[in-house]
Structure 1
Amino acid sequence: MVHRLERLVIRHTLRLPSPAGPVGQGDVAARQFDAALISVGFKLSADALRRLSGLSEGTVVDTAVRTLETVREMVGDHVQHNVYFRDFPANVPDTFEFWTRCVREALEDRKARPGVLAQLRDGVINLLTLPSYGNYRHTYDEMLAAHDELTAALGDRLTVLHLGGTPADEVTALYLALAGSTTPLGEEHLADLKVLAEHCADGPQPETIPVRENRAVVNEARLKAGSVLLLDTVTDVLRLACALSGGDVSLQERTRFRALSRPVRRALLAGLDSVVAAAPAKLADVLTHREAFKRLGERLHPHEYPQWPHAAEVFAVARGEKKAHTFDARVEALLGADDVTGAAELLRSAPGRLFRALDRLLRSAATQEERDAVVAAAEEVAPEVSGRVVLSVREYLHNRAEETGRQRVFINRAGRAHVADDTRAVVPEADRKRLIAALDAEVGRRLPVPERLLVDPDMLDVALPLSGRATAAGLGVLPRGSVSPVEGELLRFFVYWKQKQRITDYDLSALLLDARYDTVSWLSYTNLTEVEGEHSGDITNAPDGASEFINLRLGAVRGTYIVPQVNVYSGEKFEDAEESFFGFMLREAEQQGRPFEPRTVRMKSELRGPGRVALPLAFRRAEDGSWHAKWLHLYLKGHPAYNRVEGNQVSVATLLRGIVEREQLTVGYLTELMANSGTDVATWDAESVPDGPVTYIGLERPEGLHPDSVVITPENLRDLIPE
């Protein structure tokens, strides 16, 4: 467990917990450890190297083994990445030539020959029936022998591992940061929080846990530890029950409740009873999840516990035996009567709901007087609304321009997306601008005002993580909508998957679009070579894991956009596979090297979404010829099987247009507000590191900062979101 917790700290914070061990002469082992890290694109900070050098050799070696295992997995180097075409990207054949060769080899195979001849008579050949198609023709070692070593380049990635505090302090700090996050966490981070919460149940706790899903995970640990539960709504109890059953604490997916022990049933019923006794109006929340409460009641047996009568009322409401008038019903009644002013007045008592209803209220208003009442209500209650909601509405209003005919992009919590025409009536521009000004003022009021703020320019276009679900877990991953520069001559995508039970075929493809989002070309198993680059070959079965690559020469790309995608052609979905991840590398033309070189990896993210077509990010060429990545983290539903790039060109192009044309709130937005509040904002200069403490915002933590400095990187970017 200790080692598992240490791995979590490294993955989430890029900090190496300070090893405990006897003093010794570990300098040689420490330098060897650092060299091994550099080979996979990491290195020790000066403080970390100094600390390890003063420990015993055995302590350093043990630390190195654990850390190398962790960082290799972070970058995707924990598996063997073989390719179908051994010399890739060299000597990749023309697609038709390759298929013809596979047919010829099949005709030379006595077992395969009759079946191939029969297919030829029918005029259609199924590639998957050809013995030489889709399976590796050489070993991993044979592939390695065909490639020269990678030549080092200045552009190779070097991610610094900084020295942390004691393992206990680092684990506690990570737990407090995740549990107290002001934004929802992704599925992978929620799973990490569960591990941390169980370990830290008896230790320090965050002052508040504003995100309900996080609270459910913490409550599960508190219940097991016998601590007091954190409950203020009946839905908190329902989420806890889902957590105890291994279900979805966000309540988006149906949870099959497990049989619960008597002590657990008593704890849940006592919790429901106390919530309703303190605020009977909260019974109305039951109606939102009526069916789930019905099923939970079958597990809790509330009739066996007459000492908690208010808990029984919860299930009476769920069964329809007791009336509960919802707040939303009262709002709907007022809007149904065209009383917008009355609805706005009622919503003052629920500031978050008022903010989420602003667009509808403004569109429903028949007069300027009504619109003024809505805006005035929003201005008055803004201080009571969570920072994440304020920022979300601010971003929404920014993109709610007056002109019509635009398209709306809908993205659910799991990252599944679709596009529809925007048929809503316009929001008057004067009211939109007035609200934007009010929200800017509110956000500015809540932001800290550090004396000096140093900002890495590459961080300014990083989108604010208003939901952790907008960012996949992985290395070098930025929130959806972020824009980051891409520097290098060669861009190489990779996907790795390992099937769990069924034969599974994933297909890596890259769609090339022009400035009008029309298809220029693509690279895939149906088009192995193009002017722009090469595909490594189709692998159709992954019992031991499989990889596919696409190599692109950015200077040769015809078009404006490159959209990599991973299609589930057959077999297990991303969520069901034993392992699946995507990433990209950047190289210079002269570097050579293996198809997969860990220190050239710029991003590696998990593929665990619900659809059958994954769109991790897209690349756009600017007018000056430079390239930038736009982070998507999206999934298309796709077809049950046989998804191909040729079949989803239109849907991908339409979705990309909607995302590209939408503007996110970025780090630059917040730094501008800080500057307006009197903060001295300056561009980071590695050659001139200040002596005193500062607030630093950048893609990675630089060395040499004062220990009392506040450092914001993508790993803790959520800390920028005000409460």
Structure 2
Amino acid sequence: MAQSLESLVLRHTHRVPAPQGSAGEGAAAARRFDAALMDEGFKLSAELLERLSGLSEAAVLHTARRTLRTVTEMVGDHVRHNSYFIDFPANVPDTEEFWMRCVAKALGDEKARAGVLTQLANGVLDLLSLPTYGRYQHTYEELLAAQDELIASAGDRVTVLHLGGELQDEVSALYLALAGSTTPLGDAHLADLKVLAGRCALGPQPERIPVRENRAVVNEARLGVGADLLLDTVTDVLRLACALSGGDVTLQEPTRFRNLSRPVRRALLAGLDAVVAANPAKLADAHAHREPFKRLGERLHPHEYPGRPHAAEVFAVARGEKEARSFDSRVEQLLDACDVVGAATLLRSAPGKLFRALDLLLRIAADQAERDAVLAAAVEVAPQVSGRVVLAVREHFHNRARESDELRVFVNRRGRAWVTPDARPPVPAADRDRLIAALDTELGRRLPAPGRLLIDPDVVDVALPLSSRATAAGLGVLPRGSASEVDGERLRFFVYWKETEHRTDFDLSALLLRSDYSTDSWLSYTSLTAIGGRHSGDVTEAPDGASEFIDLTLDRVRGAFIVPQVNVYAGEGFEEVEESFFGFMVRDGEQKGRPFEPRTVRMKSELRGAGRVALPLVFRRGDDGRWRAKWLHLYLRGISSGNRVEENQASVSTVVRALVEREQLTVGYLIDLMSDGTTVMDLWDGGPVPAEPVTYIGLERPEGLHPESRVITPGNLRDLIPG
């Protein structure tokens, strides 16, 4: 467990919990540890190096082993990245030439010759039937021997690891941050929260746990240690039951409820009973999840507990045996009667729902008086709405300034994206501007006084993480919609996957689009070479893991967009394989090295989405000729097998256009709100930092910050979202 917790802290915070051990002369071992980290693109901070140098060599090596194990996984170097073409990116043949080589070798193979001749006679050839196609023809060691050594470049990534506090203090702080997050966590972070909650359920707790999914995970741990449960809706109890059954606490996927012990059943029924007894109107919440509540009732046996009558009412409502008129139905009745003012008045008692209905109410209002009433209601309840919802509505109305014939993009909680034409009538510009101004005022009121601000300019265009589900787990990953500079001359994508049970073929491809989003060309297993690019070759099975690469020389690429994608051609999906991840590297000029060099990796993200086509990000050439990445974290449904870049280019282009042209609220927006007339703001250029405490916002924590400084980096960017 200790190793797991230390690894978890390191992954989230880039801090190494204070190394333990006897005092000694560990300086030499610490320097060797630092050198080993540099090979992975990491290094020790001066403070951490000093701490290790004062420990014994054995203590340093103990810390080094577990830290290196974690950072290699963070960057994707814990597996062997082989390449089909041993000299990649050199000597990649044209596609037709390569296929003919495979055919020629098959005809020279006594076992394969007859089958190949039969296929050729019929005019159709299955590449997978060729012995040398899709399977590595050399070992990983042979690949290493064939590649030149990487020469270090000033542009290589260096991620600094800082000295943390005692392990329990670091674990407790991380638990409080995740549990008290104002934005929903992704699946990976929810799993981490579950580990932390099991350790911290009886320790310090957040003042509030505003996100319901987080509350379910915490309640599971609290139930296990006999602590009071945090419940204020019947849905909280349903989420807890899902957590206890290993199901989906977001309630997006059905959960098969397990048989629950009698003490657990008593606790859940007591929770339901108390919620309804305190507020009978909460019964109506059962309407939204009728089927799960009916199935849960079959496991809880409420009839065995006559002392919990209110709990039994919940299941009666779910079965349709008891009427409980829902709040939403009352709103719908008013809207059906075109009573906009009445609906807005009723919605004042549910501020979050009012904010989510603002666009509809302003569109259907009959006149300016009704729109004024809607805006007045919104301004009145704004202080009661969560900061995340206020920001989401602010972003929504900013983008409503577009013409009505533009595209609307929808992304569900699992990253699945789809696009439709925007046929909504516009919201009057004056009303939209009044609302935006009011929301800016409300958000500015909530933001804390930052003191002296120290800003890394590279963080300004990072999108606000209104939901952590908009960000995949990994290294160097930014929220959906974020933009970041690409500062190298060569861009290299990589994908790795390892099948669980069935033969699985992932295909890495890159679609090159013109400025109007039409297709220029692509790189894939059917097009191994294109202007400025090389593909490493098709690998069609991964029992021991497999990798594919695409290498692009940026100044030779035509068009305005590069869209890397990973297609599931055959076998298991992204959520079924044992492991899968995508990333990109940046290299300078003719910088050589293996196909995968960890210190050149700029981003590595897990591929765990609901779809058969993954779109991690898009690269866009600006008017100045410089390339910038925009983060997508999207999945398209695709088809069950045979997904190829040639077949999905139209749908990919449409989704990319919708996301690229949508403007997200960024860190820069909040910085502007925080920068009032009394705030001192400095831009950090990589040099010395102020000696006084500051609020630092950037991509990486600088060394030497005052210990009382507030530090915001991508790992805790959610802390910027006001409550």
**TM-score interval for Structure 1 and Structure 2 normalised by the shorter chain:** over 0.9
- Percent identity over paired residues: 73
Correspondences of 1:320-399 after superposition (within 5 Å)? 320-399=320-399
**1:449 CA drift (Å):** 1.4
Q: Does residue 642 of structure 1 match 2:642?
A: yes
- Which whole-Å CA distance do the structure 1 matches of 2:531 and 2:107 have between them? 32
- Which whole-Å CA distance do the structure 2 matches of 1:212 and 1:305 have between them? 27
- Report the TM-score when normalising by structure 2: 0.99
- Per the alignment, residue 190 of structure 2 pairs with 190
Q: Does residue 722 of structure 1 match 2:690?
A: no
Per-residue CA deviation, residues 546-582 of structure 1 (Å, 9 max, x unaligned), is: 0000000001000000000000000000000000000
Correspondences of 1:91-490 after superposition (within 5 Å)? 91-401=91-401, 403-490=403-490
- Per the alignment, residue 589 of structure 1 pairs with 589
**1:402 CA drift (Å):** 5.6
- Which whole-Å CA distance do the structure 1 matches of 2:243 and 2:544 have between them? 32
- Which whole-Å CA distance do the structure 2 matches of 1:120 and 1:451 have between them? 74
- Which whole-Å CA distance do the structure 1 matches of 2:327 and 2:293 have between them? 19
Alignment check: 8 A CA contact 1:455 1:681 kept: yes
- Which whole-Å CA distance do the structure 2 matches of 1:204 and 1:370 have between them? 48
- Which whole-Å CA distance do the structure 1 matches of 2:77 and 2:686 have between them? 30
Alignment check: 8 A CA contact 1:444 1:677 kept: no
Gaps of 5+ in 1: none
SS of the residue 1:635 aligns to: strand
Alignment check: 8 A CA contact 1:671 1:681 kept: no
Q: Does residue 517 of structure 1 match 2:513?
A: no
- Which whole-Å CA distance do the structure 1 matches of 2:172 and 2:484 have between them? 32
| CA-based RMSD | 0.7
- Which whole-Å CA distance do the structure 2 matches of 1:699 and 1:106 have between them? 52
**1:589 CA drift (Å):** 1.9
- Per the alignment, residue 70 of structure 1 pairs with 70
**1:74 CA drift (Å):** 0.2
SS of the residue 1:564 aligns to: strand
Per-residue CA deviation, residues 583-629 of structure 1 (Å, 9 max, x unaligned), is: 00000122100000000000000000000000000000001110100
Paired residue type of 1:708: E
SS of the residue 1:591 aligns to: coil
Alignment check: 8 A CA contact 1:416 1:635 kept: yes
Correspondences of 1:624-639 after superposition (within 5 Å)? 624-639=624-639
Gaps of 5+ in 2: none
**1:448 CA drift (Å):** 1.2
Alignment check: 8 A CA contact 1:216 1:240 kept: yes
Alignment check: 8 A CA contact 1:449 1:677 kept: no
**1:472 CA drift (Å):** 0.2
Alignment check: 8 A CA contact 1:450 1:695 kept: yes
SS of the residue 1:469 aligns to: helix
- Which whole-Å CA distance do the structure 2 matches of 1:192 and 1:56 have between them? 32
**1:456 CA drift (Å):** 0.7
- Which whole-Å CA distance do the structure 2 matches of 1:695 and 1:649 have between them? 44
Distance change in 2, residues 1:442/1:677 (3 Å):
farther
Paired residue type of 2:551: N
Paired residue type of 1:101: R
Distance change in 2, residues 1:159/1:402 (3 Å):
closer
SS of the residue 1:64 aligns to: helix
- Answer with 400-409 or 617-626: which moved more: 400-409
SS of the residue 2:153 aligns to: coil
- Per the alignment, residue 501 of structure 2 pairs with 501
Alignment check: 8 A CA contact 1:402 1:427 kept: no
**1:676 CA drift (Å):** 3.2
- Which whole-Å CA distance do the structure 2 matches of 1:193 and 1:689 have between them? 33
Per-residue CA deviation, residues 436-489 of structure 1 (Å, 9 max, x unaligned), is: 000000000001112210111110000000000000000000000000000101
Paired residue type of 1:528: L
**Equivalences, count:** 723
Per-residue CA deviation, residues 375-399 of structure 1 (Å, 9 max, x unaligned), is: 0000000000000000000000000
**1:677 CA drift (Å):** 5.8
- Which whole-Å CA distance do the structure 2 matches of 1:125 and 1:686 have between them? 57
Paired residue type of 1:56: S
SS of the residue 1:648 aligns to: helix
Per-residue CA deviation, residues 296-352 of structure 1 (Å, 9 max, x unaligned), is: 000000000111110000000001110000000111111111110000000001100
- Which whole-Å CA distance do the structure 1 matches of 2:252 and 2:347 have between them? 25
- Answer with 397-406 or 672-681: which moved more: 672-681
Q: Does residue 659 of structure 1 match 2:659?
A: yes
- Per the alignment, residue 612 of structure 1 pairs with 612
Paired residue type of 1:162: H
- Which whole-Å CA distance do the structure 1 matches of 2:450 and 2:333 have between them? 47
Alignment check: 8 A CA contact 1:402 1:429 kept: no
**1:685 CA drift (Å):** 3.2
- Which whole-Å CA distance do the structure 2 matches of 1:494 and 1:688 have between them? 36
Per-residue CA deviation, residues 98-144 of structure 1 (Å, 9 max, x unaligned), is: 00111111111111111111100110101011111000000000000
**1:686 CA drift (Å):** 3.0
- Per the alignment, residue 685 of structure 1 pairs with 685
SS of the residue 2:419 aligns to: strand
- Which whole-Å CA distance do the structure 2 matches of 1:618 and 1:60 have between them? 41
- Which whole-Å CA distance do the structure 2 matches of 1:127 and 1:502 have between them? 19
**1:687 CA drift (Å):** 2.6
- Which whole-Å CA distance do the structure 1 matches of 2:368 and 2:545 have between them? 63
